[in-house]
Amino acid sequence: MRVLFIGDVVGSPGRQGLRETMPQLRERHAPDLVIVNGENSAGGMGITERTANDLFGAGADVITSGNHVYRHREAYEFLDREERVLRPANYPQANPGRGHGVFEAGGMKVRVINLSGGVGLRVARSPFDAVDSILDHHDADAVIVDFHAEVTSEKVAMGWHLDGRAAAVLGTHTHVPTADGRVLPGGTAFVSDVGMTGSRESVLGVKPEQALRSLITQMPTRFETAEENVWVMGALVEVNQRGLADSFEQVMVPAVG
């Protein structure tokens, strides 16, 4: 089974870039399951039913998220209703949405788990405890984890924590692709951050002049999504019948449009 994972889609430029590039990605990689992190899909921050449906229309089978998932209140009912959209599993249990789900792909049952890091981000409990609790009671053939975390040390630790128990632990949130992608000794594909799907002429998807103004003046600044030179970034993981990874491949391609 081949899993194509797409990093944080930023605003309408990211959504359009993914939509235009997905046919090329499907032809090249022939994925059985496409997972897209969509937590920045609505104006560069948050997700809505409209932007989620846009990502589904582009080819996503499952959408994960992160710390901006509750930015738009109108999305709360949608998160409760749509089982294919996930929020971090280590958020309060009463919060809208769900943190993991099982999806059929390539003749396998795949449990996709969305986690938030606990360092520098607000969570209800440790991501390590949360994922252990889920895995203690799961019966899927393979596990894919989107670890939406701030610091690389916590991400690397999660990779080792789940080595041999998950097919892949793929880092998101920091938007910059890292060079540590590989298959760990126990058979878990890992990368600290897969990168973002959005403008490379930006500061993490924001127009450079606005990000610079905020950093230099320390004053409130209205951010807008950058539009030029959109790239699609992510990872391809080949999963064997034992539910572990045979290979990891970084995906970084300019959008077709």
Domain at 35, CATH number: 3.60.21.10
Q: Quick one: CA dihedral 22, 25, 27, 30, positive or negative?
A: negative
Q: How far apart are alpha carbons 247 and 37 in whole angstroms?
A: 21
199 touches 230 (CB < 8 A): yes
If one counts the domains in the chain, the total is: 1
Q: Which pLDDT does position 49 carry in this prediction?
A: 97
Quote the domain boundaries for residue 147: 2-254
Alpha helix (H) residue ranges in the chain: 11-29, 49-58, 76-81, 127-135, 152-162, 208-217
* Tokens 């449009």 -> residue: 257
7 touches 175 (CB < 8 A): yes
| Average confidence (pLDDT) over 222-237 | 93
Angle, helices 11-29/49-58, rounded to nearest 10 degrees: 20
Give CA angle at 99 (93, 102), nearest 5°: 130
Q: Is 68 noted as a catalytic residue in this protein?
A: yes
Give the pTM.
0.95
| Average confidence (pLDDT) over 92-118 | 97
Q: Which pLDDT does position 222 carry in this prediction?
A: 86
| Average confidence (pLDDT) over 146-153 | 97
Point out the catalytic residue in the list 68, 72, 100, 148: 68
* Chain segment 161-194, per-residue pLDDT in tens: 999 999 999 999 999 999 999 999 999 999 999 9
* Chain segment 187-200, per-residue pLDDT in tens: 999 999 999 999 99
| Average confidence (pLDDT) over 137-151 | 95
